[in-house]
Each structure stands twice: as structure tokens, then as C-alpha cells.
């Protein structure tokens, strides 16, 4: 990942999507060579010189003040996720690049106990790379096709783009893929020197044309709440609201939990999923007990 290139393409892509009319500028005929705003128009809207904005869009955010960044947010009509991404890119531009391997993230026992206590709600904890680090029984059952993938660590992005079962598991695969790439792009802006993240993005870009196309769009997203659709191989279709909650004591980790309205088909499907998960766990425990007894027992 090249930080200067990321800045250049992010600003250019945001500028290209805004028409003069959307920016409150007069339209001077239809003979425009760019689909959106010109650089000089963005400079005018942001209250900076054209030369200075050209420097920013060439990828040089070093030294850009908070007031300049906020002016760009207004001029380019950035949403909350895009604003945070711009500030992340600026922080990266003012830091010393150093590709590093992050310390291994561990799940505290208290977090695992919290997950295990959520017996009626599928839940898991992930990091910014979309590695699933822990899950409760119902969460593992819901995401059983993901956990069945032999690739480790269990990673939602790798499954979505590289496992043929993903398009059946996610009925709205295209929207899900867009969200996945936007979350990885957001994390790349937040922590551009994460070696494991760089390796993951390189693997996905090498092996998936769909990922390469979506990655080039430079879209970012905050993903705190919504509804996710699944086609589970055992219980069929589920449409489940979710809440994704950052864990303040564990920076970079997010707890995601699903729920269902009482008396709905989704609730019935979750109940069936829980019974299936319990039967699998009981079968595993029985097999382990027989193995421990030995062949002569």
C-alpha cells in the first residue's frame, strides 16, 4: 500500500463524484473534460490556493492543518467514514513509514465469558483485518461455512472472495463484498503499516478480480448497525439485525452480535440453529470421551 497513491486516488475519486450543481456552482455548458469538480473548483470551495490543492491531490498531506482538512471535508461533501479516513491518511503522512508485524491479539477471558453467556444471540469478536478471533457457540454455528474453511486465521474477507461457498452463504453477495472491501480500506487508512493487513490485501488482490475492482474504488464505511442476510446450509434463509461494538479496553477489536424479533421466522431459525449446534457439541464430546477410553474400553 502506497500512502501517497492512496491520498491521490481518494481525493480524486471523491472530487469526480460531485457535480458543480451539487456543489452549488454554476454549470458552464456541457463541455467539461472531468466528470465531477475541477481541481480549481475544489480549491475555491475549500478556500485554498489551486497550487496548494494540487499538492494535496498529488498525495502530499504532510503538514496539512486540521482546518484545511475540515475545509476539504466540506468541499468534497465527505460523510463521517470518509472524514475519518481523510484524517487517518493525514496522520499516516506525518508519521515515519515502518512496515511492522502487529503483536498477537488475544481475547481476554472476560470477553470470552461474555460471549459464552450470550446463549440466544450469535456473537463474535473480530479485528480490523476481519480475522474472527473468538465466537460463542451460536456464532460458530451461524458462520459454520466460514469456520469450515481450512484457511487460518478465520477471516471474513478471505472467505467472501476466495471460497466458492460464499456466494451461496451471502444471498446479497455484491453488497456484502462492497462492505467488506470498504472496511478493509478503512483499516488500511487507520493502520497502513500493518504487515498482516498488507499481506491479506496483496493475497486478495492477486487472487480475486472482484476484490481488485472494489479496492480501486477507495470507498470506506463505518459498520456499526444494520441487517445481514444469510443462506445457512442447515436452517436456510435468515435476516438478522446486528450491532457492532468496538471494545474500548481492547483497541482494534469489535464485538458483533445478532438478534431476531420474537415470534419471527428468523427467531425460529435461530432456535433451530441452537439445537443443531448443541447436537454437534454433544457428538464431539461423546467422540472425545470414547477416544479417551481407548480401543479396549
Q: What is the pLDDT of residues 177-209, one digit of tens each?
A: 999 999 999 999 999 989 999 999 999 999 999
Phi and psi (nearest 5°) for 256? -115, 130
Please provide the DSSP assignment of 139-157 as one string.
HHHHTHHHHHS--SS-BHH
Residue with cell 511492522: 100
- Contact between 233 and 192 (Cβ < 8 Å): no
Determine what percent of the chain is predicted with pLDDT higher than 90.
80
Q: What is the pLDDT of residues 40-74, one digit of tens each?
A: 999 999 999 999 999 999 999 999 999 999 999 99
**What are the residues whose beta carbons fall under 8 Å from the beta carbon of 150, sequence distance 6 or more?**
none
Is the pLDDT reported for residue 259 higher than 90? Answer: yes
Is the pLDDT reported for residue 126 higher than 80? Answer: yes
Give the other-Cβ count within 10 Å of 275's Cβ.
13
- Contact between 229 and 236 (Cβ < 8 Å): no
Domains of the chain: 3-93 (1.10.260), 109-287 (3.30.450.180)
In the structure, what pLDDT confidence band is assigned to residue 289 with cuts at 50, 70 and 90? very low
pTM: 0.89
- Contact between 16 and 36 (Cβ < 8 Å): yes
Amino acid at each position: 500500500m502506497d500512502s501517497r497513491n492512496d491520498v491521490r486516488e481518494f481525493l480524486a475519486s471523491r472530487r469526480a463524484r460531485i457535480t458543480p450543481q451539487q456543489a452549488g456552482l454554476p454549470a458552464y455548458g456541457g463541455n467539461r473534460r472531468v466528470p465531477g469538480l475541477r481541481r480549481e473548483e475544489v480549491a475555491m470551495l475549500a478556500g485554498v490556493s489551486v497550487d496548494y490543492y494540487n499538492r494535496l491531490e498529488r498525495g502530499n498531506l504532510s503538514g496539512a492543518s486540521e482546518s484545511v482538512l475540515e475545509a476539504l471535508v466540506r468541499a468534497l461533501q465527505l460523510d463521517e467514514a470518509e472524514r475519518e479516513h481523510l484524517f487517518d491518511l493525514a496522520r499516516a503522512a506525518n508519521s515515519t513509514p515502518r512496515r511492522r508485524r502487529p503483536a498477537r491479539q488475544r481475547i481476554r477471558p472476560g470477553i470470552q465469558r461474555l460471549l459464552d453467556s450470550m446463549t440466544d444471540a450469535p456473537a463474535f469478536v473480530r479485528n480490523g483485518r476481519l480475522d474472527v478471533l473468538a465466537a460463542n457457540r451460536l456464532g460458530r454455528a451461524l458462520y459454520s461455512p466460514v469456520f469450515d474453511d481450512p484457511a487460518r486465521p478465520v477471516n471474513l474477507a478471505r472467505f467472501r472472495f476466495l471460497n466458492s461457498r460464499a456466494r451461496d452463504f451471502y444471498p446479497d453477495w455484491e453488497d456484502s463484498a462492497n462492505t467488506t472491501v470498504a472496511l478493509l480500506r478503512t483499516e488500511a487508512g487507520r493502520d497502513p503499516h500493518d504487515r498482516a493487513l498488507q499481506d491479506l490485501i496483496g493475497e486478495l488482490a492477486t487472487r480475486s478480480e472482484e476484490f481488485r475492482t472494489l479496492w480501486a474504488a477507495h470507498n470506506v464505511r463505518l459498520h456499526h448497525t444494520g441487517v445481514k442476510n444469510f443462506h445457512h446450509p442447515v436452517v436456510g434463509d435468515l435476516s438478522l439485525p446486528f450491532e457492532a461494538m468496538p471494545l474500548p479496553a481492547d483497541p482494534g477489536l469489535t464485538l458483533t452480535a445478532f438478534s431476531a424479533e420474537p415470534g419471527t421466522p428468523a427467531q425460529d431459525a435461530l432456535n433451530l440453529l441452537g439445537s443443531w449446534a448443541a447436537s454437534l457439541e454433544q457428538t464431539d464430546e461423546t467422540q472425545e470421551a470414547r477416544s479417551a477410553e481407548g480401543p479396549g474400553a
